Structure 1
Amino acid sequence: MFDWLQNLLLPVENPSVTQSIVAIMLAIGTGIFLGRLKLGKITFGVSAVMFTGLFLGHLGYRIQDGILDFIRDFGLILFVYGIGLQVGPSFFSSFRNEGLKFNILAVSTVLFGGLITIVLFRLTGLKIEDLVGIMSGSVTNTPGLGAAKNTIEEIKNSFPNKTFDDPTIGYAITYPLGVFGIIGTIILSKLLLKINPEVEMRKFRMSKINQELPLIHKKMRVTNPEYFGKTLHQVIKDFGHEIVVSRLKHSGSDAVQSPTLDTHLRDRDVLMIVGLESHLDEFIQKVGRPSTDLFIESDSDIRKKNIFVTKPSAVHKKLSQLDLYNTYDLKVTRVFRAGREILPRPSLELFYGDILRVIGSREAIEEAEKIIGNSEKKLLEPDFLSLFGGLLLGVILGSIPIVIPSLPVPIKLGFAAGPLIVALLISRYGGISFIHSYINNGAIYFMKDFGI
């Protein structure tokens, strides 16, 4: 009666498409469940899927070759593309800080691993493709395995009479050792070096706060006669650091306004200023003194709101082109992008998904929303055109043959490097035409975890 269920769930030597899909879902579902279980303070996460797959393969479960190739390559593409979109905004800017050091360290690690592989090849007599799989598995480098398999396929196409071992076998053998080795090294290092993870995490968070220097706002009163009668443009230019004056209230008045660069300062004016804390303190000391005025925060005619950039008419436009102040009497005080705060310079180019913090009247904000968008619902909807358009560009880039005279076959970036480079560039420059860089965090985490 239940023969159909047995045929569907039990291992067979020549599986159908449906049986192959069931085997994949069984490995993923069981692996994710086991990955959530705790062994002491340790969880294996998505790595447990690998162990589940090994066990199911031992029991005799098989997957059709075509489906296996598609799942493996498509998963790799999703993984590296998701990584590229997530780190793109900070990847290039990090070279000005510690990013260069980290990249040099990463390249050195890869070169050292390659050197060890060559030495083992000379000493052991093992095939190079087996050693590449062993190296990839020992450091749990799935994209490296994908690149190796793509290279072998290209060589096979050029030299059909040659045979090569499958590097996946070496990868599967050493991957568990790589996972346990990394976990063991972390535990051993913590014990030997007497590291307290909670203390180190607090130090790391404090260092990130000091590096990123979040934007804040402060109130001040103009008391330095040197700046009476000068425009905000003159004062800020003389100051030398980038700050934004979001609100202004003249002395003796309860009316709060959003000033322009042409607004003249008067004696005892109260300003709301936005910028880095050190710059604000220096500006206050130079121009006046701190203020405790409450009217500048409580004015009923002036509102503060975050507006999402979702309309094509605002994407890739500079703030100076939108000219929100002269058009709608709105002041942009901050721009939020990929978790970072950016000071709104006139030359700043807006990307899809950016958040503008504006100050102005309710009517002005409503008018600005018509050209900027402010559709949070639209950001939650998956944009498949951008996603698959970017993936297509990545696959095309990874498939371009690069001829090097000393090599027997052209080299290609492959499914690992091609989509990664495209994702980094799209994320850095906000997209290409209809392909934009914004994908919500939930979708990115899905791409990374499902892909790996």
Structure 2
Amino acid sequence: MGTGLLNNQLLVLLAIISIGYIIGHIKIKGISFGSSACLFVAIAAGILGAEIPSIIMSIGVIFFIYPIGLQAGAQFFRQFHRRGLKFAGLALFTVSTGALTALLLAIPLKVDIASAAGIFAGAMTSTPALASAINAIQTYLPGHSGQASLGYAVAYPFGLISEMLFVQLVPKIFSKRVNADRENEAKEREVRGFKSRSFKLTNINLTGKTLDELDIHNIAHVNLTRFKRGEHITICTPDAKFELGDTVVAVGQAAELEKFRILFGEDMGQELPPPGFMAIKDLFVSSSKLAGRLLRNLKLPESYGITITRLYRGEVEITPTGGVSLEIGDMMKVVGRMENVERFIKMAGSERRRLDDTNILILTIGMFFGALLGEIPFVIGNFSLKLGVAGGPLFVALILGHFGKIGKWSVRIPNATKIFLRDLGLVLFLIGIGVKTGHELIASIGGHSIISCIILGAAVSLVSLFGSYFLVHKIFKLPITQSLGAVCGAKTSSPSLGVLIKTVEDDSPAVTYAAVYPVAIIMLTLVGQLFVWIGTTLLGR
């Protein structure tokens, strides 16, 4: 009966998920494993002889990494532009530290170079590093590839568990600092965010000109909503003419409002109250009539008598100038007369169901090309590099997340879908790697150097982990949550990122993870082969 159940892969998969989540909800002094407990249950199942199709792990990686990339894409290039050299340095430091620790300690611990290469890859939780090392072993140490695989199986569980515990414990130990960082980030967002201010026209050169003639967006990215002349408040329309002494309400970021002040006139400080006939509504874009079209081509002020003053795309605020196009799911703040706003809403639509729908076709097209990119080998001298099932989808998702669409179709996915894919992907990956590790542990336990391998794996994992965090947080001065995200990226540890996001209840670590990950995966692939070459050629082992 028991053997029959273990042979039923569907029952095994569902049982591991169920038991893993039950164990994962158990808290000891506020710490729980959460979905990571599925890893331990999967290892136990692997030791008992259970099997899971290998594709489960690949599907899990793509499901987890793709929505992470889509979300991080909007900020990734800005972050990498600002801190690209630091992130590259972090990846180089983390990988080099792990490799040097493994090489230096392998000698006194009497661990052969093939096993040490596998232990290095396992402690760094990097399958590409293992594949690269095995490729080199076949050249320099023919017949020893199995030792690398066993070394990987011994070191990987400790490497992954230490990372997951680390990203849970650090935010809890330094909770006050984490909360302070959040408050500072909120203040920074407030400074960068949209504000409304009133300005009095004192520039005589603008007298008698209409809003359309002013062509304000060529000077400042602000939008005008209403103006006051005497005691009368009027909505700003393209044909509205301004006179000296008129007071207008402008909406935009602080720097753009300052540009407008220089052009227009005196800053009046307080905002004009909206008149009773004026409506201000938040509206989600759900109509294909608007999706993919530039605001200047829609001519909303002329056709509907309304103005879009703010535009939110996910967590990103965008100034709605004529060159901006709308996408399904965008949230816009619409200002105009009540009847005009209601007329626009009927055309634009705000169907909640449409916003909650997931475009399966666009989602799978992105995943497909990501997986395809991951299979393409890039040859650098004597080295062959593949981005793999994690790197390929991540690169594609970052690019799509940055541009936001394929043709006229938005690539953004609802939050519920994003969270579901991320959590399911993490669990499937942990189960796949856990069952595989459980099988290989049986073979490795019989080895005479098992204790030495465990010690070496623990040393590589902890030295690279603490060293990486010290560099990014203490030297580069990144906030704690962003530092931990960068550490997960430097160790290419997707499961640890998932645990971190759940622990801090914040998606911001995904941005630094995505910024470091591409450099780290390249470094790990190159160092995997260099490790074997150095060990056999220079150290003669």
Tell me, yes or no, whether TM beats 0.5: yes
Query: CA distance change for structure 1 residues 243 and 100 in 2, over 3 Å: closer, same or farther?
Result: farther
Moved more, 441-450 or 386-395: 441-450
- Any residues of structure 2 matched to 1:50-199 within 5 Å, and which? 50-58=39-47, 60-64=48-52, 67=53, 69-98=54-83, 101-117=86-102, 125-126=111-112, 128=114, 131=116, 134-139=119-124, 141=125, 144-145=126-127, 147-148=128-129, 164-165=145-146, 167=149, 170-171=152-153, 173-176=155-158, 178-180=160-162, 183=165, 196-199=174-177
Aligned to 1:36: 25
Q: Which has the higher mean CA deviation after the structures are superposed, 335-344 or 436-445?
A: 436-445
Matched, 1:210 2:188: yes
Contact 1:390 1:435 in 2 (8 A): no
1:408-447 correspondence to structure 2 within 5 Å: 411-433=385-407, 436-447=410-421
The gaps in structure 2 that reach 5 residues or longer are 427-541
2:249 aligned residue: 272
How many percent of aligned residue pairs carry the same amino acid? 25
Distance of aligned partners of 1:117 and 1:313 in 2 relative to their CA distance in 1, 3 Å threshold = farther
Shift of 1:325: 1.7
- Partners of 1:132 and 1:29 lie apart in 2 by 35
Distance 2:71 2:280 in 1: 29
Alignment of 1:296-375 (within 5 A): 296-300=273-277, 302-369=278-345, 372-375=348-351
TM superposition shift of 1:95: 2.9
Change (3 A) 1:212 1:51: farther
Does the 8 A contact of 1:84 with 1:423 survive in 2?
Answer: yes
The one-letter code of the counterpart of 1:20 is Q
1:258 aligns to what?
A: 236
Indicate how the Cα distance of structure 1 residues 110 and 352 shifts in structure 2: closer, same or farther if over 3 A, else same: farther
Cα distance change on mapping 1:268 and 1:328 into 2, 3 Å: same
For the 8 Å contact 2:235–2:337, the answer to whether it is kept is no
Contact 2:219–2:260 (CA<8 Å) still a contact in 1?
no
**More off after superposition, 171-180 vs 315-324:** 171-180
Would you say the 8 A contact 1:219–1:270 is kept in 2?
Answer: no
> Secondary structure in 1 aligned to 2:311?
strand
Asked if structure 2 preserves the Cα contact closer than 8 Å seen for 1:135 and 1:171, the reply is no
The alpha carbon displacement at 1:36 in A equals 2.4
Against the structure 1 CA distance between its residues 326 and 57, is the aligned structure 2 distance closer, same or farther, given a 3 Å change threshold?
same
The size of the alignment, in residue pairs, is 420
Deviations 1:426-452 (A, max 9, x none): 111122237632111222122222222
Give the drift of 1:246. 1.9
Q: 1:198 & 1:149 partners in 2: Cα distance? A: 39
Q: Comparing both structures, which one devotes a greater share of its residues to helix?
A: 2
Letter in 2 for 1:164: S
**Amino acid of the structure 2 residue aligned with 1:380:** D
Q: CA deviation at 1:43?
A: 2.2
Name the SS for the 1:34 alignment partner. helix
Spell out, residue by residue over 1:47-95, the C-alpha distance to the aligned partner (whole angstroms, 9 max, x if none).
221122123334x15015xx2x011111111112121112111101223
**How many Å separate the matches in 1 of 2:404 and 2:281?**
23
State the shift of 1:339 in Å: 0.9
User: 2 CA distance for matches of 1:183 and 1:304?
Assistant: 47
RMSD of aligned residue pairs (Cα, Å): 3.9
Distance 1:363 1:417, change over 3 A: same
- State the 1:273 CA deviation: 1.7
Greater CA drift, 147-156 or 201-210: 147-156
| Range that drifts further, 234-243 or 344-353 | 234-243
Q: Is the 8 A contact 2:377 2:386 kept in 1?
A: yes
Q: TM-score, normalised by structure 2?
A: 0.66
Distance 1:324 1:242 in 2: 17
Name the SS for the 1:265 alignment partner: coil
- Give secondary structure in 2 for the equivalent of 1:46: helix
User: Secondary structure, in 3 states, of the residue corresponding to 1:92?
Assistant: helix
* Matches of 1:449 and 1:390, distance apart in 2: 19
- State the one-letter code of the partner of 1:57: G
Counterpart of 2:225?
Answer: 246
* Greater alpha carbon shift after TM alignment, 348-357 vs 382-391: 348-357
Q: Is the 8 A contact 1:28 1:49 kept in 2?
A: yes
SS of structure 1 residue aligned to 2:287? coil
Tell me how far apart the structure 1 counterparts of residues 144 and 194 of structure 2 sit (CA, whole Å).
63
After TM superposition, give the deviation of residue 168 of structure 1 in Å. 7.6
- RCO comparison, higher one (Cα < 8 Å, 6+): 2
